Structure 1
Amino acid sequence: MHWLFQAVVSTATLSLATGVPAPPKSESIDIFELPLPPVAPTNDTGACNTSINPRHTGCIGRTSDFFQAGDFAPDGNHVVATVEFIGAPLAPHAASIFTGQQLILIKTNGARFSTGDPWKCLSCGVPSQNSRSLDDARDYPHIARNGQQALWGHNILYCGGITLVSERCTPDKVHIYPIYWPAGANSSGSPREMRMHPDDKHIGWSAFTSGGENSYYGRLQFNESPTNGTLRVPRYDLVGVNLLAKPNGTAPIMAQGSELKIDDQAIGVGELRGFSGAGDEILYIGPTHEANNIDVFAVHIITGVVRRLTSHPEYADPIAFSRDNQWFVTMDTRGSNRQMWMAGMRHIPPLVDLVTVTAASSTRNNGARRFFQPILIDRYGDRGDYFGQHVNYAGNGTNGSVNDPNWNGKADPAFSPDGTHIVYWQSLVIPPACGESNPLPCPISTAQGGRTYRVMLARLATRKPISPVPVFDAPDTIPWATQFPPGASLPSTYSLPPGNYTLRGKHSGFAKTRIAKDPLLNIIKMVSVEYTDFSDDGEHYLHGHEAVTLTLSASDPWLNHLDWYSDILQTGATNASKKTGLGLPSHNKCPRKYF
C-alpha cells in the first residue's frame, strides 16, 4: 500500500536563548578504521586455523548479532568491544578459549600487545570459578573511569585492582560478576541497556513491562555471599533504586477541564541513554516536544530541569558527552530523510503523537538496518540553523568509504578522555534490507574478510586535549524521582481522558482536539486536531486538520496499523504544507501505512 505525503519546508532562524553562545564552526575530522581479529570463513570447529591467525588468538565471523563497540579506557589508547569468536579448535588446544561472546580491548594508536595483536581478550580463559552465573546480556561495554572494571551488559568484569589495559591483567586475575536486581521478580521488568555513571558507583537502566518502558537509577553494591534471591553467587546488587519519574508528577500533556496543557518541563524518562560528561544530567529519549520529532533530552539529577538537546526533525538516539561537558555526539538519521516525511514541518504540538510515537520511532529502521550516522554537537544542542556536524562528512561516498551510506552507525559512540577522538561503529546493509526481493542491491564489503561491521576512530584534527570537569557528586536518592525498593510496584500514571479539548497557542489561535480511547485496552486509539491560526512563538502559524487512528495487531503488540490523514498549512516565518492523499476526493478516504 502507498503512503502519499507532501511537505515543503523552508528554513527559519530561531532566536537563541539568553546566554547560549553562537554555534561553533565546522572543523576538520580524520577517520580511521580500527583493527579487529581476523575473519574465519565459517564457524565450524577449527575454521580459525593457522593460515588465518598464526598466533592462535581467535577469529570472528563475517556477520555477528553480538558485536558492539564501547568506549575508551582512561589512557585514551584502547577501546573496549564485545565480539563473537568462532571456528576455534577443541580443548585442550590453547586457542579453544577464543570462542563465543567475549570482551576485548582494541589499540587505537597503532601499537600492539605482547601477543603481537592490536587487540587483547579480557574475558577469554577466565577460570570457571571466577565467572559463576555470567549473565547472557553482554552488550553496551563500558570501561570505568578508574580503568580497573568494565560494565559488560549485566556483568562487571574486574581484574583484582590491576588496570584492564595492563599486560599484568591475565585471565587468572579476572573475575566476572553478574549484576542482580532484587526487584526483578516483580512487575518492573528485566534491566536492559545499562549505563554507568562517571563516578563508577551509580548506574542507570531501562526496563520494559506490559505498560511500557520505564527507567531507573541505583547504586552498585558488591555482595560476596548473598543469602537472598535466585542468584546466590558473588554478585553486584542494584540498591537504592530510584524510578525516574516524579511521584504524582505531571504528564507532558494533561487535561484541565476542557483545556489541554502541554508542559515541556514534565520529566518523562523513557529510554535512558546515559549521563552527561560530568554526570550531573541523565540523558534519555523522552516525550516529543514537536509532532513526530523524537529527540534526546537531559534532566538534571538534583533540580529536575529538563533540556532538549536535539531538535532536528530526524531521529536521534545513542549519545555520549565529552568529559569537559562541552560537546556530545549522537547517532542520528539526519541526512537520510527517513523521518522528514512525517516530522519535516516544525512547530506542530505533539498531539497526534499520543497514537503515532511508536510508529514514528520505528521508521528510523529498515529491519536490522538503522540509518544512523554520528553527529557532533556542542553542549547547547540544535538551535536556529545549527544542527551539528556530520563526523564522517569526508569521503566520496563510494563503496567502503567513511561516508558510504550503506555503512550505518550503531550504539554507542564515545569521546576519548582528552576529547580529541570519537569512536563509533557501523554495520553494512545485508539481506533482507537489500538483495533478494529488495530492489536495493547488496554492497560488497571492503572490510577484512568481507566483515559487515567495523569500528571507526575519528580524530578531531584541530582540537587540543581538554581537562575533564570534576565528576558530579551523585546522590543515592534523586530528589524528584520515586523510591523503588525491592517488592515495590510501578505506580499508576496519568491517563488523558477521552473527550473534546482545546489547546490554546501561547501566542495566538487554538487547536480543537478530539481524543478517543479503546474501551477494552484503555489506550488512546484516535486523535483528531483542527488548527486555527495556532502559534506558540508568534512566528509560525498553523491552519488545517490532522487525524490519526490506531489499530493494534492481535498477534504482535509492536505492530501498529495507522490510518493517518494530514492537511496542514504553515505560514509566517516558514511556509510549509503537510498533506496526505494526493487527489483524494474527501477527508474520509485516508491512505494507510503498516509499520
Structure 2
Amino acid sequence: MRPPSSLLLALGSVAFGLEVVTRPPPEPEPIEVVELPLPPVAPSDGVGACTPAINPRRTGCVGTDVGEFQAGDFTPDGNHVVVNVEFVGAPAAPDPASIYTGEQLILIKADGTNFSNGDPWKCLSCGVPPENARSLDPQRDYPHVLRSGDRALWGHNILDCGGVDLASDACTPNRTHIYPIHWTTSADGSGPGGVPREMRLHPDDMHMGWSSFTGDGGQAAYFGRLEFNPNPAVGEPLTPRYDLVNVSLLVDPSGKAPISAEDGELRINHDAITVGELRGFSGSGDEVLYIGSSWESSNIDVFAVHVATGAVRRLTSHPEYTDPIAFSHDNEWFVVMDTRPSGRQMWMAGMRWIPPLVDMVAVTAASSTRNNRDRRFFQPILVDRYGDRGAYFGQQVNAGGDGSSGSVNDPNWNGRADPAFSPDGTRIAYWQALVVSPACGGDNPLPCPVSTAQGGRTYRVMLAHLTSRTPKRPAKVAAVPDLIPWATPFPPGATVPALYKVPPGNYTVRGRVSGVADVSYAEESSAAGRTGTVAVAYANYSDQCGYILNGHEKVSVQVLFPNVWDNVVDWTSDLLQTGRVEATKRTSAGGFHLEINAETNIFSANGTLVTVVDGVEYVQPANGA
C-alpha cells in the first residue's frame, strides 16, 4: 500500500464531482498546532487521590482514561474552549474540593492566560446548588457554547448563567442553572419523551438539529425550536426545562428516493434529500449538514441541504470516510474528521465512479470498517466551503509534525467529534484520543503506544493556529422557519414513515455517459435475520467522462437477529476500470467474507478484496486491526 504521504497526491488526478470544476482551489496555508491545558491527572479515582501536591489550588483532577471526555467549541471571544471532563479523586464532603467530582462542564483557556483563580480552566457546573440543577439529564456530550456566550449546550441539558458570560468571574455556581431538554413524542404529552442523540445547535441559538435511532436499526434526523418551559404540566421531568417544539422530520414526503425504480430501470438521484445522521449546520445556518446516501459505492460523505430550498450539494467526495464536521462562522471553510490520511478505506472505495448499487445492502459494512473499536483513524482536514473537487482534497490541519510518539501528527492519536472554528476563523480546536487496548496489543496485531501526555492521559485538546489569516466577521445568521418547508411535520404522536425501498427484481441502470448495468436485487427473511443480495454486471458503464467500468460484483448481507448491528457479508467482485485510470477491484477465489458489528467495529474476514489503481495496491485491514 502506498504511504499516506503519497495518498493525496495519487488521488489528485481524479475528478471528484459530477459538475465541471469552476472554482480554483485555495493554496495550502501555514498552520501551527499546540496542545491546550487540562486539569492535572490523579494517580487513581480513589477518594482524596487528587491531593494538594498534585493540584495546589484544589480545583480538581482528571483520570487517564477517555471515559466521557469530549471537547467542544469556542466562547464568543475565541479565548476559551468548552470541555466535558470526568473529575476523579476528589476528597469527601464537606471539603470544599469535593465538588470537583464526576462528569462536569469546564472552560479551558485557548490564549495562554489563566482565569482569576490562577488555573487555565474553570468549572462551570461544579458546585451548582441542587435546586438550580433539578433533573439534570445524564447525557452530557457534544458541549457547545451558544453565540450569546451566557449559555451552553451540555448533552441533553442547557447550562445558563443568567445573562452573564460563562468565562467571566460573575458566572458563579449560585447564579448558574442547568435545565434538561425534553422532546415530547407521545400524543398526550406523557412520559419521558423521545431519545435524541448528537444534538447540534443552530447558529441562531434557538433551533436544534438531532438524530434518533429507529426500532429497526435505522436512524432519522429532526429539526425543532428550543422553548423554555418554567412550569411543565405534563411529561417527564416536571421541572423547569427546555422543550423541543415545532419539530420537523428531515424527510421530503414528496421528494425523490436516492435510488428509484420505474419500468424496469433504476435511477440514481443525486438531488434526493437523504438526511441519515445530522452533523450540524453551516456557519450562517442556511444549510443542514448530514451523512447521506452514497453517490459512489462504499464512499461515505458529508452533504449539505439548504434549509429553505432543499438544494443538495456534496461537500466531501474522497474515497475515505468522513463524519464529524464544523463550518467557520464566516461560512467560507469547514473542517472534517476524515480517514483520508490513513488509506483505511481504499481497499473498498478506491475505485471511483462505481454507482452505489451494492450499497443497498452493504452500506453498514462500508461505514463499520472505518474503525477498529475506538481506533478512529480520523485526522482534521481543512476544506474551503465548495468542498472536494478536481485535484483538491483540502489540507491536513496537523500535518506539520514529524510523526513521532506524541507529536501533533502521531497517527496513534486519533481525532474525535467535534472540531470547531474560533468565531474569527483564525483557529481550530479539536480533540484526540490515544489508541489503547483492545484496539492494540494482545490479540490485536497493532502494538499499543505509550502516552506522552501529562500523567499518562490518553486524550488531549489541540489548537491549530491559521497563522496567515486575518480575523473575519461571522456571516449573518440565516433566518430559518420553525417548520422546514421541504421536511415532514412531526408533532407529538407522529411516527417515522417507511422510507425509500427498491422492490426486489431485475433492473437496468443507464450510465450518465455511456453503457449499462444489469442489476438483480433479492431479499428474504427468517427467524435468524434478514438477507439482501445485489448482483451487478457492468458493460462499458460510465458516469464520469474517462472512467469506463466493466465486470461484475455481487454482495449478500445478512443482518442477524436480535442484534440488528451484526452483519455477515459475502462479496465477490471482478471489476475493471479503464480510461483515465487503469484500476481493478477483485476478490480472491471463493470471495470475501466479513463478519462485523456496526457498534464494536472489529474487522474479521476470510478471503480478500483488493483494489488496484494505476498499479498501486490497496488491501484490507488485518483481522482485529
Give the Cα–Cα distance (whole angstroms) in 1 for the partners of residues 194 and 518 of structure 2.
38
Match of 1:3 in 2: none
Q: Does 1:250 align with 2:252?
A: no
Q: CA deviation at 1:368?
A: 1.3
* Residue type of the alignment partner of 1:344: G
How far apart in 2 are the matches of 1:188 and 1:246? 24
Which deviates more, 256-265 or 432-441? 432-441
Counterparts of 1:293 and 1:463 in 2: how far apart (Å)? 32
SS in structure 1 at match of 2:461: strand
Three-state SS of the structure 1 residue aligned to 2:544 is coil
Once the two structures are TM-superposed, the CA of residue 12 in structure 1 deviates from its matched residue by 3.3
Residue aligning to 1:270? 276
Distance 1:18 1:469, change over 3 A: farther
SS of 1:346's equivalent in the other structure is coil
Q: Give the distance between the partners of 2:20 and 2:568, measured in 1 at CA.
A: 43
- In the alignment, is the contact (CA less than 8 A) between 2:149 and 2:166 conserved in 1? yes
Amino acid at match of 2:237: L
Question: Contact between 2:424 and 2:471, CA under 8 Å: does it hold in 1?
Answer: yes
In structure 2, list runs of 5 or more residues that go unmatched.
1-6, 597-625
* Preserved CA contact (<8 Å) 2:16 2:317: no
Residue 371 (1) aligns with residue 377 (2): yes
Deviation of residue 559 (structure 1)? 1.5
1:485 paired with 2:491, answer yes
Q: Choose which of 76, 79, 91 in structure 1 pairs with 2:78.
A: 76
Structure 1 position 554, deviation (Å): 3.2
Question: SS of 1:370's equivalent?
Answer: coil
Alpha-carbon distance in structure 2 between the residues aligned to 1:13 and 1:431? 37
Between 180-189 and 283-292, report the one with greater CA deviation: 180-189
The equivalent of 2:55 in structure 1 is 53
RMSD between aligned residues: 1.7
Give per-residue Cα distances to partners, 1:154-179, cap 9 Å, x unaligned: 00000011110111000000000000
Equivalent in the alignment of 2:245: 239
Cα deviation for residue 553 of structure 1 reads 2.5
Task: Tell me what 1:12 maps to.
Answer: 13
Structure 1 residue 450 corresponds to structure 2 residue 452: no
| Alignment partner of 1:261 is 2:261 | no
Equivalent in the alignment of 1:328: 334
Q: Which amino acid counterpart does residue 174 of structure 2 have in structure 1? A: D
Alignment partner, residue 398 of structure 1: 404
Comparing 13-22 and 106-115, the one that deviates more: 13-22
Q: Which residue of 2 aligns with 1:574?
A: 581
- Which stretch of the first structure deviates more once superposed, 438-447 or 27-36? 438-447
> Could you say which residue in structure 2 is the equivalent of 1:527?
534
Q: What's the CA shift for 1:231? A: 1.3
User: Is the deviation greater in 14-23 or in 105-114?
Assistant: 14-23
- Are 2:183 and 2:193, in contact at CA under 8 Å, matched by a contact in 1? no
How far the C-alpha of 1:575 sits from its partner, in A, is 1.3
* 1-structure distance, mates of 2:320, 2:314: 14
Sort the Cα spacing of 1:153 and 1:10 in 2 relative to 1 into closer, same or farther, 3 A: closer
Look up the match of 1:210: 215
Contact 1:188 1:489 in 2 (8 A): no
> Deviation of residue 257 (structure 1)?
1.8
1:591 CA drift (Å): 2.8
Select which of 368, 373, 376 maps to 1:362.
368
1:30 maps to 2:32: yes
Structure 1 residue 500: deviation in Å? 0.4
Match of 2:125 in 1: 123
Residue aligning to 2:23: 21
TM-score where L is the length of structure 2: 0.91
State the one-letter code of the partner of 2:208: I
Q: Distance in 1 between matches of 2:46 and 2:22?
A: 57
Aligned to 2:422: 416
Partner residue, 1:517: 523
1-side partners of 2:105 and 2:192: how far apart?
A: 31
Maintained 8 Å contact 2:182/2:192: no
Please list, as runs of the form range in 1=range in 2, the aligned pairs for 1:25-174 lying within 5 A after superposition.
25-174=27-176
Structure 1 residue 197 and structure 2 residue 202: aligned? yes
Whole-angstrom CA distance in 1 between matches of 2:531 and 2:395? 38
Per the TM alignment, residue 188 of structure 1 is displaced from its structure 2 partner at its CA by: 9.2
User: How far apart, CA to CA, are the structure 2 residues paired with 1:342 and 1:213?
Assistant: 24
1:385: Cα distance to partner? 1.2
C-alpha distance in structure 1 between counterparts of 2:25 and 2:233, whole Å: 55
CA shift digits 1:454-506 (9 cap, x unpaired):
00000001011011110001110111000000111112223210000000111
**Structure 1: any 5+ residue segments left out of the alignment?**
1-6
After superposition, the Cα gap between the structure-2 partners of 1:229 and 1:187, relative to the gap in structure 1 and judged at 3 Å, is closer
The separation in 1 between residues aligned to 2:391 and 2:20, in whole angstroms, is 17
Q: Report if the CA contact (8 A) 1:515-1:524 is conserved.
A: no
Per-residue CA deviations over 1:508-547 (Å, capped at 9, x if unaligned) read 1100000001245996610000000001223211000000
How many Å apart are 1:209 and its aligned residue? Answer: 1.1
Please state how far the C-alpha of 1:572 moved relative to its aligned partner: 1.0
Q: Does 1:284 align with 2:290?
A: yes
Q: Match of 1:388, as an amino acid?
A: G
